[in-house]
A and B are shown apart, each in its own frame.
Chain A
């Protein structure tokens, strides 16, 4: 790609930023330059100040915050303080992580027009720009649609259209595709870089997960937990010379990058290039990584059985005639596109809805005959957003809430609380408010509170939501530990790698109907096309296995 080093769009010179209520700065002596046409990945562990940096880059901070800034920021060669307040936001557009809270209007066209009115454009120009921007993100004819009713992926497309309509040449994307299904993520990234080519955009992506990005991005800029720049290099150089830095900062990397970590070799950032040049050593490593762990035959009796389960709300069938079984000790994943009824099914199994038709048995007993106390001592449920399920004002009390209800003796309760807190690494946080914890800590606390009573079945709703690579590792470890203890786990998830890694079996739902239930490996055999119809993609480990299987030399080697 052609570089125009002469055309600097954003430059940071020794920038340090501190929130006024904190002693340590979030960002420490940052110096870097973004040139026109660059595509930069800004990454680091949670708490590295990535979002603060985003807001400094487009001028929201320090103007609208009460922090202290040192150093100098320049936009297009002009020092930030010389820009009229708010004027730089018209040149640098931002797309945010949360699809819901970045809109202030009801319909799609009103939302795009909001930005255009801020630019004081004449109406005819607005109409034309709304039309073309929607067309370029693949949303023709969506002008009059209500934003609230769109899917997560469509909302992010609208957000992108807003930026395109404003003709901002620099796009800042703050983990924009973290909460949407894998197929939409892949399509959106492809769409984004097509647009980059067409309009010569400068793109700065903030993400702790490189899946999907790595093939498109030219440069990596890594921050550590102190908010210092650890690395600022072209992507391929960064990966080949400083792979350990990525690992240290717990940045999630795609499999084909992971196997190239053998030091001193040049790293191919495009999967198809790597496949052409893959060394035998790398293939062996890949083989090792994706080896199917022998799954022990589960001939255990069923924990839950459901027959002809139908559940409707206001005359609309959310679940239709679903049969399923969950065996004792297995890990099972519920998959399907948004609104397929996965969460409803999980909530129903947790005994929350009682106006269903059909039968549900928990260990052979009909669910409706069990008291809510009995169901609760068997089944735990962890919500997508852990914040929703905290009921007490301190960590200690929240963990012990389930035991308190059972009126167990004080000593036993406090002992169990302590051991539970030890196992999730929250000793010392006993008296903190649950809402004051970090994202990862909140997730672990919510799981701990739900399992303190030794529940045999744990239902997890989108457990990977808002988690970084490190918390994800914790989560996988937790699920595997449960498996070893013979406990059952159900997860509702979009994360296909997680499904591949831990799920013994999978249930695929579509519009409330069961499409498939069986071993996870059989799910992949449904084929890419069928999976994509349900918003899913093949996990890369499965794809690479197929590729590896088709390689003659590997076949002879083993």
Chain B
């Protein structure tokens, strides 16, 4: 789908740029409209399962609720002097403006999570790495190192499971307290590290024996291009921002 084919570097930079720009405002309506637009884009222009998206958003939602709660309970008293009081009970007080600030803080968390997910869920790591080298000219030594490390993750996970089984068979009981858990982790760390270092060494040797020296490449097997649609994507995001800004100003 369309969003999956956007150049990863452009997608990443646009997302980061939007986050920085949005951070300058603390406007719940702006955030809300932008968020609606973003959701619309996410679920029409990308193939993302609702479930995954909701599951990944859930922790941010909790965080947002926490933000709103604390911001409402412990507002900045100095700011509230000349504001319209909405509601007061004992030492608790809520002004119109402080309500807006709290809501904006919460929405900001949710909005930023939606922006990040839009990027993360539509970008393949390999393509991202290639784009980092081809568009952003990151050194290949670094990027191929990261890619090789990425291949290790499933291997290390597998090894961890084997070691868990081995310890179980040898009669190391399942850890019950945090202290036991910590000491079991410690006994895993050394052999896991030792084998990871050995694997890394072997992979480095293997890469080098395939003629890898870290010099820049002249030809790519897989070229990651920058196309018209990438400009369209930037336009879409900036347009969405402008629209949300206009609408929120209209309302207030």
Contacts and interface: CB of A to CB of B under 8 A. Distances in A.
Say whether A associates with B.
Answer: yes
Interface of A: 55, 58, 60, 64, 85-87, 89-90, 92-94, 96, 98, 100-106, 109-110, 113-123, 126-127, 147-148, 162, 166, 347, 350, 352, 372-373, 376, 381, 383, 385, 387-391, 401-402, 405, 435, 449-450
A89 B187 CA distance: 39
A92 B209 CA distance: 8
A118 B219 contact: no
A115 B171 contact: no
A47 to B, nearest CB: 17
Contacts of B210: 89, 93, 114-115, 118, 162, 166
A90 B211 contact: yes
A105 B147 contact: yes
A65 B168 CA distance: 39
Given A85-B213, A166-B210, A405-B171, A101 B199 contact: yes
A390 B192 CA distance: 12
A376 B202 contact: no
B211 A391 contact: no
Nearest to B155: A100
Given A100-B155, A123-B220, A389-B170, A347 B165 contact: yes
A60 B195 CA distance: 21
A388 B168 contact: no
Nearest to B144: A104
B217 to A, nearest CB: 5
Contacts of A109: 221
Interface of B: 126, 144, 147-148, 150-151, 154-155, 159, 162-163, 165-172, 187, 190-191, 194-195, 199, 202-213, 217-223
Given A64-B208, A102-B202, A122 B219 contact: yes
B218 A104 contact: no
Contact of B220 (A89, A103, A106, A117): A117
A123 B221 contact: yes
Contact of B171 (A148, A376, A383): A376
Given A113-B222, A120-B218, A352-B169, A102 B191 contact: no
Nearest to A104: B148
Given A86-B213, A89-B208, A118-B210, A106 B191 contact: no
A110 B209 contact: no
Given A60-B205, A376-B169, 6 more contacts: A101-B203, A104-B151, A121-B219, A126-B221, A352-B168, A402-B170
A148 B157 CA distance: 13
A101 B219 contact: no
A209 B159 CA distance: 28
B169 A120 contact: no
Nearest to B162: A388
B171 A101 contact: no
A116 B221 contact: yes
B208 A389 contact: no
B103 to A, nearest CB: 42
A103 B163 CA distance: 24
A399 B63 CA distance: 49
A114 B212 contact: yes
A126 B219 CA distance: 10
Given A113-B222, A347-B165, A388-B163, A102 B206 contact: yes
A391 B187 contact: yes
Nearest to B210: A115
14 contacts: A86-B212, A94-B205, A101-B202, A106-B151, A113-B222, A118-B212, A122-B219, A127-B221, A147-B151, A148-B154, A388-B163, A389-B163, A390-B191, A402-B171
B205 A381 contact: no
A101 B196 CA distance: 10
Contact of A96 (B126, B170, B202): B202
A100 B206 CA distance: 11
A117 B212 CA distance: 9
Given A110-B222, A388-B166, A101 B206 contact: yes
B207 A104 contact: yes
A321 B218 CA distance: 57
Contacts of B223: 123
Contacts of A401: 170-171
B167 A391 contact: yes
A549 to B, nearest CB: 44
B206 A104 contact: yes
A106 B126 contact: yes
B221 A115 contact: no
Contacts of B166: 381, 383, 388-389, 391
Contact of B203 (A87, A104, A350, A385): A104
Nearest to A172: B209
Contacts of A127: 221
Contacts of B219: 117, 120-123, 126
Nearest to A434: B191
A64 B212 CA distance: 13
A91 to B, nearest CB: 9
Contacts of A373: 171
Contacts of A118: 210-213, 217
A86 B208 contact: yes
A166 B207 CA distance: 13
Contact of A372 (B171, B199, B206, B222): B171
Shortest 4 CB-CB distances between A and B: which pairs? A113-B221, A118-B211, A389-B166, A86-B213
Nearest to A147: B151
A119 B217 CA distance: 9
Contact of B191 (A87, A89, A119, A388): A388
A75 B220 CA distance: 29
A85 to B, nearest CB: 7
Given A86-B213, A120-B218, A390-B191, A98 B151 contact: no
A115 B209 CA distance: 9
Nearest to A96: B206
Nearest to B190: A435
A100 B220 CA distance: 25
Contacts of B220: 117, 123
A362 to B, nearest CB: 15
Contacts of B211: 86-87, 89-90, 115, 118-119, 166
